[in-house]
Amino acid sequence: MRIRKILIILFLIITNAIIPESMAKAESTISGIIKARGVRDARNVVVYLENVEGVFKPPEEKPVIGQKNLIFNPHVLPVLVGTTVKFPNNDNVKHNVFSPSKAKKLNLGTYGSGIVREVTFDKLGKVSLLCNVHAEMSAFVVVLENPFFALTDTDGKFTILGVPPGTYTIKTWHEKLKEKKQEVVVKEGETVTLNFNLSR
């Protein structure tokens, strides 16, 4: 009996190790292009999925929004809810980070060069970040319910990787452009192409 159990366990281990990659579940991708009218270019559009089933753990590696040359960088950061973001001051002057947004009201105070402060974003929504020392500085953290999101580049291109098969709502967010949404059906191993035209 014991030998039988050992043999079954060994069999399962061996078969899982040698299952060809092609027989593993293929990942699906959603990609596309955003065309934006009324803004300088189509970068920094957050494209994200809603209604994806599952429990998603925030990443252990903490993303960073730095302050350098009187600019927040990156300007837009999409994150999974529960993610902790680091805010290092990489400038030679003092900076402040605060937000009036409902999704996360915060004020990290004013701090000097080399100091890093952290914030955990635990509510869904957009968080506007400002500096009360330098009024022209701003950035946005977009807190999302799942990790299936992407940020467009200058040309408006985006790719969302590893999407499980299913039917979802795909939405856009931009600080100045109106939100748009579409329904998308994703099949296993498929690459779906979706484009958006956004305007003010």
Partner 1 sequence: MKIENKSVGIIIWIILMVFAVESAEAIPAFARKYKTSCATCHMVFPRLTPFGEAYRINGYRMPEIEEESVKEEPISMGAEAYKEVWPNAIWPGNIPGTSPVAFRINYGFSYDKTNTKTPSKFTIPAIQLFMGGTFSDKISFFGSVLLVKGHNTNALQMVSMVFNDMFSKYLPEHAFNLRIGQFVPDLTTYKNKHRSLTHTPYALNTYVPAMGSYWAPGSHQRFGIAGQVIGMEASGLLTKRLRYAIGLSNGNALLGEDNKGKDVFGKVAYKSGGMAFDGSSVGDIFGASADNWSEKSITIAAFAYYSSRLDKDNAKDIVLQRFGGDVNIFFRDLNVIGGFITGTDQDYFNREMINRKYDVFFLETNYMIYPWLAGVFRFEQANPKDIDSESFDSVSRYIINISALYTANVKFSIETRINPDIPEEKNLFIGLDYAF
Residues forming beta bridges with residue 185, ordered by sequence position: 167
* Site track for partner 1 across 139-178, x = CB under 8 A: -x----------------------------------xx--
Question: What distance in Å separates the CA atoms of residue 56 and residue 124, rounded to the nearest whole number?
Answer: 14
Closest CB to partner 1 among residues 129, 151: 129
Q: In the window 24-43, what residues touch partner 1 (CB under 8 A)?
A: 37-41
As measured in angstroms, the least distance from the Cβ of 186 to partner 1 is 33
As measured in angstroms, the least distance from the Cβ of 197 to partner 1 is 13
* Site track for partner 1 across 103-132, x = CB under 8 A: -------------------------xxx--
Q: Does 69 bind partner 1 (CB under 8 A)?
A: no
Residues 6+ apart with CB under 8 A from 111: 89, 94, 95, 96, 117
Tokens found for residue 97: 């980070």
Tokens found for residue 129: 């970040």
As measured in angstroms, the least distance from the Cβ of 109 to partner 1 is 16
As measured in angstroms, the least distance from the Cβ of 71 to partner 1 is 11
The H or E element that residue 48 is part of is strand 46-50
Q: What is the β-pairing status of strands 76-80 and 138-144?
A: parallel
Let me know how long the chain is.
200
Residue with tokens 């270019």: 41
Q: Does 137 bind partner 1 (CB under 8 A)?
A: yes
If binding means CB under 8 A, how many residues of this protein chain bind partner 1? 19
Q: Find out whether 7 and 167 touch, Cβ atoms under 8 Å.
A: no
As measured in angstroms, the least distance from the Cβ of 122 to partner 1 is 19
Question: What distance in Å separates the CA atoms of residue 180 and residue 199, rounded to the nearest whole number?
Answer: 10
SS3 content of the chain, % helix, strand, coil (to 5): 10, 50, 40
Closest CB to partner 1 among residues 31, 96: 96
Interface residues with partner 1 (CB under 8 A)? 37-41, 100-101, 128-130, 135-138, 140, 175-176, 199-200
